[in-house]
Chains A and B, each alone.
Chain A
Amino acid sequence: MKVALQVNGAVSEVDVEPRKTLLDTLREELRLTGAHAGCEHGVCGACTVLVDGAPVRSCLMFAVQADGLDITTIEGLAPAAGELSVLQDSFCETHGLQCGFCTPGMILASHALLEANPEPTRADIVEAISGNICRCTGYGQIVEAVELAAERLRQANAPRALAGGRP
């Protein structure tokens, strides 16, 4: 089936089997390999992408279902090549990762939280990332990263949309 996928602001036409997941399509057809296959049954969250701004398991969605929707992957968060968003930079600052495998999903889930809630409590952050499993960090430095990013975004001397918001 032919599908028009709008990913990170650009539209790509792909021809996929109806049974092909959005995850496999992003990875294999568009070579956007930042979303990862962890469990392929919707528990671990490593495949998280944003669909119309909300975190979605791309392993539980078919590519054909995504036709016409606005998809953001981790590759779409950096403002420019070699330049990190405030949230991505905060993950580096607190070392909110180790092996990096769950990280794109964690960052996208956190990004969606900060878009909706610029002043999240610790409990809000814990809830927002609770659908993403990390085996390395025990989550402590991830929570710190999101707290730091929220603080930096609040303090940024510019509207949020320009200071590391959605691309």
Chain B
Amino acid sequence: MNAGAAPFRFVSANRRVREDRRFVAGHGRYVADIALDGMVHVAILGAQHPAARILAIDPSAALALPGVHYVLTGEELAGATDPLMNGLDTPNVRRFPLAVGQTRYAGEWVAAVVADSRALAEDACEKVRVSYERLPYLTHAEEALDPSSPPVHPAHGSNVLLDKPFVWGEVDRHFAESPRRLSFRVTWGRNSTVPIETFGVVASWDPWAEMLDVWASIQMPKYPDQIARALRIPANNVRVHHDVDVGGSYGVKRGIKHTVLAAHLARRLGRPVRLLEDRLENMRGGDAHGPERIFDVDVAFDDAGIVRSMKLRALDNAGAYAGRAPFQLGKPIGAIVGPYKIESVAYRAQSVTTNKAVQEAVRGFGQSPTNYAIETALDQVARACGLDRIEVRRRNFIRKEEFPYLIPSGTRYDSGDYHTVVDKVLAHVDYAALLAERDRLRADGMLAGIGIAACLEPSGGNSAFEPLLNEKNQTTTWMESVRINVDGTGCVAVTIHTTSSGQGHETLAATVVAEVLEIDPDLIRVVRPDSLACLPSNTPVGSRMAIMMGGACFHAAQKLKAKLLRIGAHNLGLAPEAARYHGGSVGAEAGGKALDWAALVNIAHRNFHLLPPDTEPGLGTTHVMQVPTGTSLPKDGRVQMYPCHSFEFHLVLVALDPVLGKPEIRRYVIGHDCGTVINPHIVKGMTLGGIAHGLGAALLEEFVYDEEGQMLTQSFMDYLLPSSHEVPKVEIVHHCTPSPFTVFGQKGSGESGYLGAPAAISGALNDAVADLGLFFDKLPIRISAISDAVAAARVRSSEETTS
């Protein structure tokens, strides 16, 4: 299937991203820009308490305000809709858009107020009286494992959503035979992608057409199906408009609860309803937090630093409802050994409920926390053996001739050349000079450290973790589709069947179709039909679109080309195999007479009598692309997860003043191999943006809850996002190892940078403070934590000196 070494014309070329034009002019079309006649606005009343019984809701004072139309409670909504989908088989963890009978986290949505303007709706929210009876609550994951902890969902019986042990290979024997072992714990703090655009939805119900129209800032697989199920209406009564630009998502824009709520109100009130989260609703109750995870790691290795086996226990704090959060423990199974030849692994995936906000899918779907644990292990092994950290990684890397490489948990890695990427980075940096620079900084009284992370980006997004963690789930396809239409004048339109949140899918589709059809990409129109006119799509999750939408475009264009060839050969009197396609024309191999694009199009659209037998008139093709490789259900706890595996190698120099504690990144280099790049600008942007996001996770961003169960970081004054001052200039060293499983050799890059940056920055800080006997074992590593720890260590050391 691989197109091989043929030089590309548009693929990999440094061409502009077509979407950019409308955005730089301020002419994006976001959900907040959509204003329908008669539209009313929703504001949300959030719960004050982490857990409380709702005794009564009195909306009378709110409804008495002029311009206020309705106050919706959880009781009404739960009566009219079905619960939102759970990933796992946990039927008693029921979730509705508004709390029903009980609140389960501070900020949970209790009532929705509808008014003529958002401002009026907010005024009215303050007038809704809710009587609560407070209940016991918990916020810590380890507490949730205790059977006597207050249950978040009493009907479920405990706070444990998932506790699944896996053993792949002879872990016990490998541990027993290994001369060295070490154990540690690291914790990944609760953060998220926090797009600058909050989630928003506009819903409109036409009772005469029985049609629900939805515009949303959405990135959600099976979105129309889920809306229809929850509302108990046929799915072909739901029309999701995909021509809405999404202002950032990186996984989290899954607003199914928002949509069901707005859609119910639109039906109830007979008017279009808009629900746009404000920042507080988004941070506290938007249900878009990311993983919060404790890792207990045991490693078995030898004196040469070769890691033979690993035990990984991951305990994730899912928050108050299940959603898809537990699956974020499943996806990393597809790269559970990272880029290393670890022979056996024991993995225990635990997900628990607590009285915190609900998780959603976050960039990497659990992979970045897992990579942080694995990379910390490699650093510790190197330290224990007294070896260089890069050398230890090199000794453990899978070698390029060993691909495709089967890892113990059942995934076959497609391709890679990790040693060469590392060599290129070290040559680019002059590693000896970098070490000398670190030591010079130290000699000047600074704390300085070098951080290293090598990791994989599984890409191509099937959903094999679903059946792996939930036996009732039999999903083995996660398809993506496109349609190509050539009209009667010869113009080409490609339809894609999803929204986008900055990934440049229109550019991707035009580039690939143009590459195959050998026509100018700028002449191709790319459009997004509404969901009722769409072929099946699973949206841009799991770093999949270069592989999946790119693959679908390739195959649909090949079908179109094949049809043009048949038409041309038939009219030129050539055997089909003797006809050649070149730049839109069809002719004989040896040259001579040919039919050009206009002639071929004309025949297809107007001359049925000139078409080969059994040929449909017109020129339209479709392709529904199945994810390469993973097509089977799991067996014995093993499954082929994603098809492709991009590689990244981070090398970071961090310096900080020991008193101030503020880390300053002096140098940041990443070696990146995502196979054949389709658009270099897009891949570069994703990588740089991913590193910035990873920097936030490593140093700044956390949803902090206090012991009262209240979220402290509710605004951007407290939840700190990296600005241009914090994000360093990043140098990218490219390498290309094509994937054998994709049409151009491409792999995914949507999560690149983010998957290794937290591990690398953490490693650098720990290198900087290792001589003080310190080890930061929790992300984010805040400035205050650094300066306090360093000060305490210095006091200790001066006391030891004087005593």
Contact = CB atoms under 8 A, between A and B. Distances in A.
Nearest to A74: B26
Interface string B6-21: 0000000000110111
B155 interface: no
Contact of A39 (B279, B684, B693): B279
B247 A100 contact: yes
Interface stretch (B27-35, B135-143, B581-589): B27-35
Contact of B693 (A44, A77, A126, A135): A135
Contacts of A6: none
Size category of the B interface is 35 or more
A134 interface: yes
Contact of B688 (A91, A101, A107, A140): A140
A126 B725 contact: yes
Interface stretch (B86-94, B192-200, B203-211, B315-323): B192-200
B681 A99 contact: no
Contact of A34 (B20, B27, B721): B27
A74 B25 contact: yes
A40 interface: yes
A37 B689 CA distance: 21
Contacts of A122: 729
B567 to A, nearest CB: 36
B608 interface: no
A103 interface: yes
Contacts of B690: 138
Contacts of B250: 135
A37 B16 contact: no
Contact of A103 (B24, B682, B692, B725): B24
A33 B245 CA distance: 13
A114 interface: no
Interface in A36-81: 36-41, 43-44, 46, 73-75, 77-78
Given A46-B196, A97-B23, A138-B690, A36 B725 contact: no
B621 to A, nearest CB: 30
A39 B692 CA distance: 19
Contacts of A17: 119
Interface string A127-164: 10111111111111111000000000000000000000
A116 interface: no
Contacts of B184: none
A133 B247 contact: no
Given A44-B196, A138-B691, A139-B727, A36 B247 contact: yes
B439 interface: no
B25 A135 contact: no
A43 B685 CA distance: 23
A41 B502 contact: no
Interface string B690-718: 11110000000000000000000001110
A136 B19 CA distance: 14
Nearest to B248: A99
B26 A38 contact: no
A102 interface: yes
B803 interface: no
B682 A95 contact: yes
A140 B716 contact: no
Contacts of B193: 135
Contacts of A143: 724, 729
Interface string B241-254: 00001111110000
Interface in A101-124: 101-104, 107, 122
B23 to A, nearest CB: 3
Contact of A100 (B28, B682, B721, B753): B28
Contacts of A33: 26, 30, 32-33
* Residue from A39, A130, A143 with most neighbouring chain B CB atoms (10 Å): A39
Given A40-B278, A135-B250, A99 B195 contact: yes
Contacts of B684: 95, 140-141
Contact of B248 (A41, A43, A78, A135): A135
A122 to B, nearest CB: 8
A136 B248 contact: yes
Given A37-B32, A92-B17, A137 B689 contact: yes
B503 interface: yes
A133 B197 CA distance: 11
A78 to B, nearest CB: 5
B697 to A, nearest CB: 12
Contacts of B504: 98
B24 A107 contact: yes
A84 B279 contact: no
Contacts of B686: 98
Contact of A97 (B20, B276, B715, B716): B20
Contact of B19 (A93, A100, A132): A100
A88 interface: yes
A150 B22 CA distance: 22
B583 to A, nearest CB: 27
B21 A101 contact: no
A130 B723 contact: yes
B23 A100 contact: yes
A125 to B, nearest CB: 8
B717 to A, nearest CB: 6
B502 A99 contact: yes
Given A40-B279, A133-B723, A138 B688 contact: yes
A85 B432 CA distance: 45
10 closest cross-chain pairs (CB), A and B: A34-B26, A100-B23, A99-B502, A101-B247, A98-B502, A74-B26, A138-B692, A138-B688, A95-B681, A43-B716
Given A77-B26, A98-B504, 16 more contacts: A17-B119, A36-B197, A43-B721, A44-B721, A73-B26, A93-B16, A94-B681, A95-B20, A98-B686, A99-B246, A101-B197, A130-B723, A134-B689, A135-B248, A136-B502, A141-B681
Interface of A: 17, 19-20, 27-28, 32-41, 43-44, 46, 73-75, 77-78, 84, 88-89, 91-95, 97-104, 107, 122, 125-127, 129-143
13 contacts: A19-B119, A27-B33, A36-B196, A44-B716, A46-B197, A97-B20, A99-B195, A99-B501, A101-B195, A102-B196, A138-B690, A139-B692, A140-B729
